[in-house]
Amino acid sequence: MKDSNFLKEHNGRLMWHPMTSPQDTIDNPPKIITGSEGVTITDIDGHKVVDGVGGLWNVNLGYSCQPVKDAMTAQLDKLPYYSTFRGTSNDAAIELSYELSEFFEPDGMSRAFFTSGGSDSVETALRLARQYHKLRGEAGRTKFLSLKKGYHGTHMGGASVNGNANFRTAYEPLLPGCFHIPAPYTYRNPFNETDPERLAQLCVQALEDEIAFQGANTIAAMIMEPILGAGGVIPPHKSFAPMVQEICNRNGILLITDEVITAYGRTGAWSGARLWGIQPDMMCTAKAITNGYFPFGAVMLGHRVVDVFEGNPSAKIGHGYTYSGHPVGAAAALACLAETKRLNVVDNAAARGDQLYAGCQALMAKYDIIGDVRGGHGLMTAIEMVSDRASKKPIDPIRAATVQEVAYQSGAMVRVSGPNLILSPPLILTEDDANILLSALDAGLAAA
């Protein structure tokens, strides 16, 4: 490994980073993370902080989860790779499909299609939705509905159903036939409605109106996050998801829940679907499925989809990835799922999530820079920063960067995305760890 001077000299110069410009990476060199332990990460200068980002919503069990590391090592020695395309499989992938069908049985899921990550899972679900309707003789059902502010990855299909222009504009024209519904976002919405239950009803009315306008027989699926994540942690009222499911079912539209963030315990429930008491037709999962230790994902499939594809010789799936069902990824996922259940992380996610949410609300009472605090459902919390509370004008990017940097120097890695400061720490976070995050945020907000 090269020394620190070499790494700093070449930082951001030969590698283009996601979600920023090459020039920004040169002007504001990224933190070089070189070590980790538990819920902490250490940079190249030896500065150690609590990771309030959880890698990228995915390191639910922290950085020292030995069972997952051991499973990967053992699998590398036994079978480091083989394809799962037609004609071959592997033992780890077969076992994982069984364990996942058991884990997601309460959500109505019984089959798995393996992918390389979240964007792949979304792309897979969108494709299978179109194929489902073709197999049923409704080839005209090709359109997709989704929520504004929603995030569904960066593939062409995912970008098309994304509800944020930051991930769309530079790559347009995107997939035709994608239409967006207002999100149940109480702080900013076109209805100027602050009551969550009333807002949920208004958003659902907009959904019904869009379906009527497009024609239900032209729509393949509705895709949504149970709690919007990257869009700024936007939890809907508890009535929202059940109303959406009822409308989709009534109109023959498949419901896809994007659970890349919410599956495996982050919300304080084992899935976002379970949190709201719904059973979608497909679930996109990834991220925490391997604790972030291996790029891997799984699309879980419900009975309506299974019944149409299975027992049908015409239902050839002309889609998949070189690394679908990768044996090392599957071994990691098996160990991760076992450890996730053993630790029963949903309880700690709920408790620590309540602590962070209450702590951020206390900070809001202290700092006018905070316009809104969202959370209350596990370890997903967001602070929306403003330059003026009355007008809700978003914070200046330089001030937002100051909050992030001072928090980092004070002991916590946090993520700023636009005006939102997002907390998504590992689900094994302790009370003391959460207090460190809150103390560092206090310092960051004071400095801005």
- The DSSP H or E segment spanning 73 is helix 66-78
Q: Give the range of the structural domain holding residue 106, as residue numbers without chain letter.
A: 67-342
How many Cα atoms sit within 13 Å of 65 on the Cβ side? Answer: 30
In a domain, 17, yes or no: no
Sequence-separated (6 or more) residues with CB below 8 Å from residue 337: 96, 99, 100, 103, 264, 289
Tens digit of pLDDT for each residue in 360-406?
Answer: 999 999 999 999 999 999 999 999 999 999 999 999 999 999 999 99
Report how far residue 303's alpha carbon sits from residue 104's, in angstroms, rounded to the nearest whole number.
12
Tell me, yes or no, whether 324 and 353 share the same domain. Answer: no
Look up residue 17 and give its DSSP letter.
P
Sequence-separated (6 or more) residues with CB below 8 Å from residue 109: 100, 101, 283, 300, 301, 302
Which domain-ending residue is among 326, 342, 358?
A: 342
Tell me, yes or no, whether 184 and 322 share the same domain. Answer: yes
Does residue 169 surpass a pLDDT of 80? yes
In a domain, 3, yes or no: no
Is the pTM of the predicted complex or chain greater than 0.95?
yes
Task: Name the domain count of the chain.
Answer: 2
In a domain, 296, yes or no: yes
Look up residue 396 and give its DSSP letter.
P
Tens digit of pLDDT for each residue in 44-72?
Answer: 999 999 999 999 999 999 999 999 999 99
Residue 217 maps to which CATH number?
3.40.640.10
Residue 417 maps to which CATH number?
3.90.1150.10
- 440 φ/ψ angles, rounded to the nearest 5 degrees: -65, -40
Which domain-ending residue is among 296, 325, 342?
A: 342
In a domain, 21, yes or no: no
pLDDT at residue number 2: 80
Tens digit of pLDDT for each residue in 6-50?
Answer: 999 999 999 999 999 999 999 999 999 999 999 999 999 999 999
Tens digit of pLDDT for each residue in 253-298?
Answer: 999 999 999 999 999 999 999 999 999 999 999 999 999 999 999 9
Does residue 1 surpass a pLDDT of 80? no
In a domain, 19, yes or no: no
Tell me, yes or no, whether 204 and 323 share the same domain. Answer: yes
Say what angle helices 327-343 and 66-78 make with each other, to 10 degrees. 160
Which domain-ending residue is among 342, 365, 388?
A: 342
